[in-house]
Structure 1
Amino acid sequence: MDGPSGTGKSTVARRLAETLGAAYLDTGAMYRAVTLAVLRTGVHADDSAAVLRCAEAADLRIGTDPGHAEVRLGDEDVSAEIRGPEVTAAVSAVSAVPAVRELLVAAQRRIISEARGRRGGIVVEGRDIGTVVVPDAGLKVYLTASADARAARRTAQDTAAGRASTVDATRADVERRDRLDSTRVASPLRPAVDAVEVDTTELDVDGVLEHLLAMVRDRGLDHAAANL
């Protein structure tokens, strides 16, 4: 499942995984955790070689339980800190480093392979899942929504998490990240040619989930969960 920020991707991906009894992987959280490691060392995000060294040294651990998708650097739970404004401002630059993407894509593929063997299936969300990470996925979905809807959702999420935010500031940040992510050289944000595009502007979470479950069942991809 791919798409820009604010489309409801994370919420829907988790709910879908829970409903199917599948594993769940938030690849964006991996890039955010590496970005946090970079910020903590004082390395400038434009220094690609130093950023890669930080990524290689980071003891990144990410859970695949959709009900408790914890993100850790070493023994420290950084699930909340990686959603902060400092990480959000720097993550596009860090994730644009080709060698960092290569490193994390390899890790993501290992996690996906292990989860398939352990739980029979996995829901993966990010920005290059259908195009790069799992190009042979049985179902590829690309979520979209209007800029206004995405900004409102992100602002609501930030407010609920205790992070100061305004719709105008969030819209500017969403548009900035869209521009950076869609124009980067390595794995730009775009739908796979065979992805099903779903506009979530007028849909609530239950509506999107219902639509996705219908596609999963139409393709016979729910059999793994039924056998758990």
Structure 2
Amino acid sequence: MARSGRCVVAVDGPSGSGKSTVSRRLAAELGAGYLDTGAMYRAITWAVLRSGVELTDADAVAKVAADVDLRIGTDPQGYHVTADGVTVDAEIRGPEVTGAVSAVSAVPTVRTMLVEHQRAIIDQLGRIVVEGRDIAGVVAPDADLKVFLTASAAARAARRSAEIAADVAATAEDLARRDRLDSTRKASPLQKAADAVELDTTELGIDEVVARLREMLNSKGVA
């Protein structure tokens, strides 16, 4: 059961599994907050690229991350991300940031700082859907519902390429690269938490996935 109205849903999974769309929709239906932790790493990556430091210089990357004034909204129907007062919603989804975010995310100090920030937001709201790659295992191990979304490589590439208007083959190659980096990094690698429910979304529509998550919450008495 949720504690005094608290309801934390952790949604993990690789890019293209549907976790962002599903998480926003679920949060809106629950009247809960929404936190895109990936956007936080992307915003830090944008700041690192703007600073001109080398991605391979972990100390320099960590310093940039520590100095950035990072702010992220939690409204599932219209959130914004700012870094040092600059709205970077569009910039963090561009190819330059996408190509560098795995390297920045792999820096342990960066992850430690952002996990602390993410936990503070969760504690403040109490009722929230959080999505990312290490939510159930690291950020919110006491979440009321833990879900790991998956999908076939082909489905993920098709979805992602449609989102960013890119070539499917090139997108598939980039997703494979990111999967490899995210799953092999030393700090909080992408993996399913032992007590998370795995759900394959390859043949499921958004409404179907959200409905299944609602059913899971109902069964736990935390709807």
Q: What TM-score results when the alignment is normalised by the length of structure 2?
A: 0.94
Q: How many residues align?
A: 213
The answer on 1:184 being equivalent to 2:185 is yes
Deviation at 1:75, TM superposition (A): 2.2
**Percent of residue pairs identical:** 63
Of residues 91-100 and 75-84 in structure 1, the stretch that sits farther from structure 2 once superposed is 75-84
> What's 1:110 paired with?
120
- Separation of aligned partners in 2, 1:93 and 1:104: 15
> What's 1:226 paired with?
none
Structure 1's consecutive aligned runs of 4 or more residues displaced over 2 angstroms after TM superposition are none
Consecutive unaligned residues of structure 1, counting only runs of 5 or more, are: 160-164, 223-228
- Separation of aligned partners in 2, 1:172 and 1:43: 26
- Separation of aligned partners in 2, 1:65 and 1:221: 20
Deviations 1:40-74 (A, max 9, x none): 01111110000000000111000011011110112
* Pairing 1:156-171 to 2, within 5 Å after superposition: 156-159=162-165, 165-171=166-172
> What's 1:206 paired with?
207
- Separation of aligned partners in 1, 2:57 and 2:84: 24
- Separation of aligned partners in 1, 2:174 and 2:100: 11
> What's 2:45 paired with?
35
Would you tell me which structure has more strand in proportion to its own residues?
Answer: 2
Is the partner of 2:96 in helix, strand or coil? Answer: helix
Is the partner of 2:161 in helix, strand or coil? Answer: helix
> What's 1:82 paired with?
92
- Separation of aligned partners in 1, 2:79 and 2:216: 24
> What's 2:64 paired with?
54
> What's 1:131 paired with?
137
- Separation of aligned partners in 1, 2:107 and 2:113: 10
Is the partner of 1:193 in helix, strand or coil? Answer: coil
Deviation at 1:168, TM superposition (A): 0.3
- Read off the aligned partner of 2:177 and give its amino acid letter: R
- Separation of aligned partners in 1, 2:187 and 2:111: 8
The answer on 1:153 being equivalent to 2:159 is yes
- Separation of aligned partners in 2, 1:12 and 1:41: 34
Of residues 17-26 and 75-84 in structure 1, the stretch that sits farther from structure 2 once superposed is 75-84
Deviation at 1:189, TM superposition (A): 0.3
- Separation of aligned partners in 2, 1:95 and 1:141: 21
- Read off the aligned partner of 1:200 and give its amino acid letter: T
> What's 1:218 paired with?
219
- Separation of aligned partners in 1, 2:120 and 2:153: 34
Deviation at 1:218, TM superposition (A): 1.0
- Separation of aligned partners in 2, 1:105 and 1:76: 22
The answer on 1:2 being equivalent to 2:3 is no
- Separation of aligned partners in 1, 2:174 and 2:210: 27
- Separation of aligned partners in 1, 2:26 and 2:151: 19
- Separation of aligned partners in 2, 1:205 and 1:44: 39
The answer on 1:144 being equivalent to 2:161 is no
- Separation of aligned partners in 2, 1:81 and 1:204: 28
Is the partner of 2:145 in helix, strand or coil? Answer: coil
Deviations 1:91-119 (A, max 9, x none): 00000000100000000000110111xxx
